Amino acid sequence: MGRQPVRRKIRFWLNDELVELEGFGPSMNVLDFLRLEKGLRGSKEGCGEGDCGACTVLVGRLVDGYLTYESVNSCIRFVASLDGCHLVTIEHLRGENGKLHPVQEQMVLHHGSQCGFCTPGIVMSLYGLWMSNPDALESDVKMALQGNLCRCTGYGPIIRAAGAVLQAGGQRFDPLLAERRKMQERLEKLADGRRVEICRGGEMEKGGDRGLAILPSDVDDLAEVLLQYPGATIVGGATDVGLWVNKQLRELEVLVFISHLGELQGFEKKGRELVLGAAASYSSVLPAIERHLPQLRELWERIGGQQVRNMGTIGGNIANGSPIGDTPPALIALGGSLVLRRGQERRSILLEDYFLAYGRQDIREGEFIESIRIPLPGGEEFFAVYKLSKRREEDISTLCGAFRVRLENNRVDEITIAFGGMAEIPKRARAAEKALKGAEWNNAGIGRGAQGLREDFVPLSDVRGSAQYRMLAAKNLLQRFYLESTGRYNGGKSRDHAEKTAAG
């Protein structure tokens, strides 16, 4: 059966209104669309780079046939990615009989707002939590607010308001929840499985391809599109690409969106491997991480804020080639590999071989990452990953170290160590591994491994940390790993000892 004809417009629900849009620029962001085109100015622009949360909105989409709402940063989200979704803004919130919504009401009662600039974003984040998890704990509230910056009220009153709203309940009166079935049916009607192409100014028929947004119909179609436009920019969650547009003012000619493709989502455990779809968001694979790789949970919860985790993808974190991306060190230490696809051809490479040099990765024109395969550590192995950053949350790493060891008779049978933030690419510490292999798993052995790190890395000094700091911290992380593996790490109290031994 031939392919269905291409659709030239996107269709989505904005609050209660069906929106059909064509001929817009591929990199128009949702916040500009709301404020400038629709006159909905409740969502605010603070940073324009996904950091402050003032622009938070909810996006509802069908996941495995079920309508799911997530908080996202509208400033870095491209409008084209809304095809088939329900966009919910602060203007849509209302309580029973036109009263304040319970989240708004508790924010008022608990004095959760002063200047009010951050308030719509905070209300939307709390609304998202209240809808999806009525039994949320204070720790869940803090997680939901990681990506929302408030400069003047302080978080105490906001967290108290959140606690009160969770206790107050009232979800059954919420229009979004009450009308979920209806909205689900509306979105199902929009899902026609067709490729969408939007050309700026609607010039497609005249042969123009300047300013093109393409939403392939499925993964095979994506492979075709990328052969046709090998220089196109793939857009996963846009948590990097959105910043290229907003902050670097880059003009992107052809954007190919992939986050709507079910085949690139999700996860599967195959034997001793966990396979993640390249366009799976951090939030969507959290259940798999909790179940199969609990050692990564803390790292996961410290990547960006909730909105970034709802949008950002694992494939994007790898493909961007950043030396300080958080997942590569852990996935390299675990022996992870990538499945890359170009047209109908697939090849598999070890993740550690993907990073060639700063800004250069082993990916060809027209190729994309299809999935990430992660061997799960065996019961006899000890694995850990540590992220050091200036702020605990909503901050990228200064340094990230991942370690996996298998011992036999207290000697190192196999060890893999990988660091981010120590070189121009995420990289294995081969000299340290060599020094440790076969060595006794004790302080003396670890000291020799720490010496090896000096051969492996000549770190840079930058605003996040000096070269000296990075080297000392890397050695200390190795020491911490050793202490944890022997059950002797006691929450940082042994730090002096660790510094003495590892600084060597």
Ligand X SMILES: Cc1cc2nc3c(=O)[nH]c(=O)nc-3n(C[C@H](O)[C@H](O)[C@H](O)COP(=O)(O)OP(=O)(O)OC[C@H]3O[C@@H](n4cnc5c(N)ncnc54)[C@H](O)[C@@H]3O)c2cc1C
Task: Map the footprint of ligand X across residues 387-446, applying CB under 6 A.
Answer: 396
Long-range CB pairs of 447-456 (<8 Å, 24+ gap) are: 447/501, 447/502, 447/504, 449/417, 449/478, 450/475, 450/478, 450/479, 450/501, 450/502, 450/503, 450/504, 451/504, 453/429, 453/478, 455/431, 456/422, 456/427, 456/428, 456/429, 456/430, 456/431, 456/432
What is the distance between the alpha carbons of residues 215 and 220, in angstroms, rounded to a whole number? 12
* Least Cβ distance, residue 308 to ligand X (angstroms): 5
Which one of ligand FES, ligand X, none is in contact with 115 (Cβ closer than 5 to 8 A by kind)?
A: ligand FES
Which one of ligand FES, ligand X, none is in contact with 388 (Cβ closer than 5 to 8 A by kind)?
A: none
* Least Cβ distance, residue 394 to ligand X (angstroms): 6
In the 3-class helix/strand/coil scheme, how is 423-463 assigned residue by residue?
CCCCEECHHHHHHHCCCECCHHHHHHHHHHHHHHCCCCCEC
| 226: nearest Cα among 345, 336, 124 | 345
Q: What is the CA radius of gyration of the chain?
A: 24
What is the distance between the alpha carbons of residues 43 and 245, in angstroms, rounded to a whole number? 19
> Which range in 55-63, 197-205, 307-315, 440-448 contacts ligand X by CB under 6 A?
307-315
* Least Cβ distance, residue 62 to ligand FES (angstroms): 25
* Least Cβ distance, residue 123 to ligand FES (angstroms): 11
Inter-residue contact 233 to 256 (CB < 8 Å): yes
What is the distance between the alpha carbons of residues 158 and 283, in angstroms, rounded to a whole number? 23
Inter-residue contact 236 to 259 (CB < 8 Å): yes
* Least Cβ distance, residue 349 to ligand X (angstroms): 13
- The residue within the footprint of ligand X, chosen from 62, 225, 252, 278 (CB under 6 A), is 278
DSSP 8-state class, residue 3: P
For residue 182, with 0-12 CB atoms within 10 Å meaning exposed, 13-18 middle and 19 or more buried, which class applies?
exposed
Q: At what angle do helices 119-132 and 102-109 cross, to 10 degrees?
A: 130
* Least Cβ distance, residue 393 to ligand FES (angstroms): 14
Task: Map the footprint of ligand X across residues 256-275, applying CB under 6 A.
Answer: 258
DSSP 8-state class, residue 282: H
Q: Which residues pair with 198 in a beta bridge?
A: 213
What is the distance between the alpha carbons of residues 399 and 365, in angstroms, rounded to a whole number? 31
Query: Tokens standing for 345?
Result: 């051809």
Task: Map the footprint of ligand FES across residues 110-149, applying CB under 6 A.
Answer: 113-119
Task: Map the footprint of ligand FES across residues 39-78, applying CB under 6 A.
Answer: 45-48, 50-55, 73, 75
* Least Cβ distance, residue 301 to ligand FES (angstroms): 19
Inter-residue contact 441 to 488 (CB < 8 Å): no
Which region, left, alpha or beta, applies to residue 267 given φ > 0 means left and ψ of -120 to 50 means alpha?
beta
Which one of ligand X, ligand FES, none is in contact with 420 (Cβ closer than 5 to 8 A by kind)?
A: none
* Least Cβ distance, residue 121 to ligand FES (angstroms): 7
Total of chain residues touching ligand X, rule CB under 6 A: 32
Which one of ligand X, ligand FES, none is in contact with 449 (Cβ closer than 5 to 8 A by kind)?
A: none
* Least Cβ distance, residue 311 to ligand X (angstroms): 6
* Least Cβ distance, residue 258 to ligand X (angstroms): 6
User: Is 234 a binder of ligand X (CB under 6 A)?
Assistant: yes
User: Is 123 a binder of ligand X (CB under 6 A)?
Assistant: no
Inter-residue contact 376 to 275 (CB < 8 Å): no
Which one of ligand FES, ligand X, none is in contact with 429 (Cβ closer than 5 to 8 A by kind)?
A: none
Query: Could you give the string, one character per residue 348-367, with x where binding to ligand X holds by CB under 6 A and - elsewhere?
Result: --------------------
User: Is 216 a binder of ligand X (CB under 6 A)?
Assistant: no
Task: Map the footprint of ligand X across residues 236-255, applying CB under 6 A.
Answer: 236-241, 243
Which CB atom, from 84 or from 147, has the smaller least distance to ligand FES? 147
Query: Could you give the string, one character per residue 318-347, with x where binding to ligand X holds by CB under 6 A and - elsewhere?
Result: -xx----xx---------------------
Query: Tokens standing for 444?
Result: 């003396």
* Least Cβ distance, residue 160 to ligand FES (angstroms): 15
Which one of ligand X, ligand FES, none is in contact with 325 (Cβ closer than 5 to 8 A by kind)?
A: ligand X
Which one of ligand FES, ligand X, none is in contact with 369 (Cβ closer than 5 to 8 A by kind)?
A: ligand X
Task: Map the footprint of ligand X across residues 279-298, applying CB under 6 A.
Answer: 279
Q: How far separated are the first and last CA of the chain, in Å rounded?
A: 68
Which CB atom, from 167 or from 344, has the smaller least distance to ligand X? 344
User: Is 304 a binder of ligand X (CB under 6 A)?
Assistant: yes
- The residue within the footprint of ligand FES, chosen from 62, 80, 143, 150 (CB under 6 A), is 150
- The residue within the footprint of ligand X, chosen from 32, 51, 70, 224 (CB under 6 A), is 51
SS3 label, residue 284: helix
**Strand-strand pairing, 360-361 and 355-357:** antiparallel
What is the distance between the alpha carbons of residues 285 and 287, in angstroms, rounded to a whole number? 5
DSSP 8-state class, residue 35: I
User: Is 154 a binder of ligand FES (CB under 6 A)?
Assistant: no
Total of chain residues touching ligand FES, rule CB under 6 A: 23
Per CB under 6 A, residues contacting ligand X are 49-51, 233-241, 243, 258, 278-279, 303-304, 308, 311-313, 315-317, 319-320, 325-326, 368-369, 396
Per CB under 6 A, residues contacting ligand FES are 45-48, 50-55, 73, 75, 113-119, 150-153
